[in-house]
Each structure stands twice: as structure tokens, then as C-alpha cells.
Amino acid sequence: EKFEENEWELFQGAYIPPSQPSTPAPSWCPPDRATSLQLLRATFPRIDELWQLNKDSLWSSWVASDKCEESFDGSVYSRMSAFQRVLLIQAVRPDRLESALTQFACESLGVSSLSPPALSLNRLFKEETSNRLPTLFVTTPGADPSAELDDYAKTYAADYAPHMNFHQLAMGGGQNDDAIRLLHEAARAGDWICLKNLHLVISWVPLLEKELKNLQPHENFRCWLTTEAHAK
């Protein structure tokens, strides 16, 4: 429903119109983009009148705008679908196509940005963690949330749980037994524990899962896990 007939095919360069426009490209169109605009006009003959493409006073300032995707005149903006605006920018201002596509995606999805919101450990802790379920961070190489988690744990302890401790253990060096011991001690005491780099001990993870299921943890207990993406 976002695309009318032939729009997506034209965007991909997979549609050839059966005929060419009877008039040359409007004078406001950059000479090196005339062929692309003519292709758009040939595919959708109605846009000449609908978008008032021959009105130089309407389009000359638009095509020269630094951010043309944000500068459509109100008299034609409402006559164009979001994707039709993308097609026109692809034709005459391809340098702004990436920004136009981002704007189209945001409008289609009903969001203000395609960038994910910054991680809020406070929100995550309050809304999505419990003493019964571990919280898993899937990280990229070189990224490690444990330092930020350590800072948050100290702040939380100072405000709400002065006797709570935060324990960290990097896996992958034969610390499996130490991890299980630390897990049980933290669960009894109501401490937090972070087991890092689980991708290095994939075969051990089922045992960890079993231990977690059998715990009867203190209400303040939290288990945090980190791993890089892994095929298994």
C-alpha cells in the first residue's frame, strides 16, 4: 500500500516506460539529471499537472535546497505520497536519496528515528529484570557493558541496598566451577553477578541454565550475562 503500480520497479531501475514525454525536462532540472526526470515523467504522465512540474518558481529553490527532502512546497507536498517524494529526489537530487529513504522509513513505521534509543540500565532494571531470570547482553567485539553495569550497581547499592555487592567473572579460562559457586553465593546474599563472554563456553551454558532454574534466590539477586553473537 506504500507503492503505486510501477513505483518500486522504477526505483530499482527495472521498469522502462513505453513512450517518452512529449516535452523536454523543465528548465529548473539540472541538465545532468534531465534523463532521470524524463523517465519519471514518462512512467507517470499525470505528475506534470499534479505536481506542477513546469512551474519554475515552485521547483527552482527546492532543487537547490541543501535538504530538499524537507523543503517541499506545501501546495504539492499533499499531492505526493511519501515514496513519490523519494522517486523525485532519486531523479533530480540523488545526493539526498539516503536521507529521503530514512525519512520515508520513519514515516512508514511511525517513528521519529531509525536509531535505537540509548540503553538505560535503570529502565532495564526496573521494567525487564527479575531475581528469577538472567538478563543477557548480546555484544559486538570490543563492546563491554560490564563497566557501565558496575557503575549502575554501585549507584543502586548506595540508594537501595547498601549491603549488595556486584561480582564479575570473565569466562573462557577454566572458571566454570568458580562461576557456579559465585552464582549460588550471590543468590543467597542478594548480590548481583555478571558472567561475561559466554560465547567462549557454549558447551557449559546448559549447565548454567540448569543451575539458574534450581536457584531459590534472594529478591535482590540479579544475574547478568554477556555474549558475542554465536552460531549456536
Tell me the average confidence (pLDDT) per consecutive run of 10 residues in the chain, 232 residues long.
Answer: 88 92 95 96 95 95 96 94 96 96 93 78 91 92 84 93 94 93 96 95 95 95 91 62
pTM over 0.75: no
Kindly state the helix (H) or strand (E) to which residue 222 belongs, with its residue range: strand 222-228
Q: How is residue 115 annotated by DSSP?
A: S
pLDDT value for 160: 92
CA angle 56, 60, 61 (to 5 degrees): 135
CA gap 85, 81 in Å, rounded: 6
CA gap 2, 107 in Å, rounded: 11
Digit-coded pLDDT (tens) for 82-125: 999 999 999 999 999 999 999 999 999 998 888 766 678 888 99
Cell (9 digits) for 51: 505536481
Kindly state the helix (H) or strand (E) to which residue 138 belongs, with its residue range: strand 135-139
CA gap 230, 232 in Å, rounded: 5
pLDDT value for 1: 63
pLDDT value for 141: 77
